[in-house]
Structure 1
Amino acid sequence: MAGTITVDLVAADRVVWSGEASTVSARTVDGDLGVLPGHAPLLSLLAPSAVEIHPTEGAVVSAEVDGGFISVAQDHVSILAEHVTL
C-alpha cells in the first residue's frame, strides 16, 4: 500500500523523533508488531525492546524503549515511553 505514516517517538522528558515513515516495528506484550500505512486502530503496551522506524528520507531510526505504549490511528503512530535511548 502506498503512502506514509506520521510517527512521534516520545520519552517522558522530550520528543525523541518525529516525522514521516514507511513502516514502524515494535514489540508489544502480545508479540511483534509491524505498522504500515492503512493499519487498523490499535492501542497496546510495549515490552522493553527495540523500536525501528523506517523514515521516508534518511537512515533507519533504532531506539530502545523501557516499555510504554504504542497507539495507531489514521496513519499516525505515537510511541510513548518513560526512557528512550537512540
Structure 2
Amino acid sequence: MIIKGLLELIFALLKLVFAPISLPTLPSGIQSVLDELVGVLTSAVGLFSVFVDLSVVKWLIPVVLVIVNFDKIWRMIMFILKKIPFLGIQ
C-alpha cells in the first residue's frame, strides 16, 4: 500500500516533469531561414550520397567511435577485470 502510493507519486512527478511544454511559434523570418537551412543540408546529404553509400556510413560511424574512444573502453574493461580477484590481473 505504501509502495503503491510512493510509485504513484513518483509517476505523477515524472509526468509533470516530462509534460510537453507549449513554446511560442517562431517569427516567420526565422522559420524561413531554418527551412532554407534544412533544405541546404538535405541537398548536401544527397550530394554526399552520390559518392558514398549511406548504408556503409551507417556501419562505419560506430566503428569510428569505438576506435576514437578505444583508450577509454580499454580502461573500463581493465577496471572491471581487476575487480575479479581470481584472475590475478594487477
TM tier, shorter chain?
A: under 0.3
TM-score, scaled relative to structure 2: 0.16
The structure with more helix, counted as a fraction of residues: 2
Q: Looking at CA atoms only, which structure, 1 or 2, has the larger radius of gyration?
A: 2
The structure with more strand, counted as a fraction of residues: 1
The structure with higher relative contact order (CA 8 Å, sep 6+) is: 1
